[in-house]
Amino acid sequence: MTEVIHAEVYRSEVRAVSGQYNSNSQPPVAWRYGGNQMKRWRTKANVSREELAEAANYSPDTIKSMEQGVRMPTPRALDVADELCRAEGLLSAAKDYLQREKYPARAQDFMLREREAISRWSYEVALVPGLLQTEGYARTLIESRYPPLDEATVKERIAARLERQSILTERKPPVALSFVLYEAVLRSPQVNAEQLHRFLDAGRLRNVLLQVLPFERAISAALLGPMVVLETHDHERFVFTEGPFASELTADPEIVSRVTERLSMIRAQALSPAESARFIERMVDE
């Protein structure tokens, strides 16, 4: 069992720092639209991708990825394309809509749904959920990403993560939140006394249920990875799941049903909120 636990922790840490997302997921709409317009203007002006790449000091493959929306079109690429293609400022104007994104591309659709949620249930197997992270924990996680991020991006990601936490206390009416944490989350070397107190503080909120799943109560369904179930104002449910190399947001009723059932099984095995608080308090005392 210990080997299984350690393997799952390792896979989750790889998932968190890899920055990968499911190939079926769509990059941000602004990226896709900006890239599509750049390609349309380039084609209309009979400018080759190689010509644009040379003028903008990018490789043709980089220009291609921008035009496909996989990579955010940069201000330099847009300005050069605007001039080469005689777009009269229409391409350069896209820069106002292509500011640096707060979240990785693979997570942006999920973040949009989270902002619309009236309820949110989640299970985490190895990492502290973003909504419960202290600033120190968030920094450690984000700074450990590979390939490394530049300092400006690190600061933006940390600020965005802390901004998300307004869902805990600032929504009216309050959002119903349920967190189940596998014991491995609490035993991580990155979890210090400040982070443990953060769990306790969150668990005292009236709209938050926080439960711990101890090692000895783990079932096979608890070792398959993290998951989130969201419900919107329209009572539509979405599931967000993550694996070692991919993440997916879906409203497919069959998948939502399966994940909800799995989450219910795990919650039934976990300690009650009161028992969980005592479990965390003992860890603080240790």
Alpha-carbon distances of 53 from 72, 218, 222, rounded to whole Å: 15, 53, 48
Q: What is the mean pLDDT of the chain?
A: 86
Q: Please tell me the pTM assigned to this model.
A: 0.68
Give the chain's domains with CATH numbers. 29-97 (1.10.260.40), 103-285 (3.30.870)
pLDDT given at position 7 = 34
How many Å is the maximal CA-CA distance in the chain?
A: 70
pLDDT given at position 23 = 40
**Stretch 25-41: mean pLDDT:** 84
Peptide bond into 148 cis (omega under 30): no
pLDDT in tens, 164-207: 999 999 999 999 999 999 999 999 999 999 999 999 999 999 99
| 52 — pLDDT class (breaks 50, 70, 90) | very high
10 Å CB burial of residue 113 (0-12, 13-18, 19+) is: buried
Query: Rounded CA gap, 53 and 62, in Å?
Result: 8
pLDDT in tens, 123-165: 999 999 999 999 999 999 999 988 888 888 899 889 989 999 9
The stretches of 19-134 forming alpha helices (DSSP H) are: 29-44, 49-56, 60-67, 75-84, 108-116
Query: Rounded CA gap, 97 and 128, in Å?
Result: 32
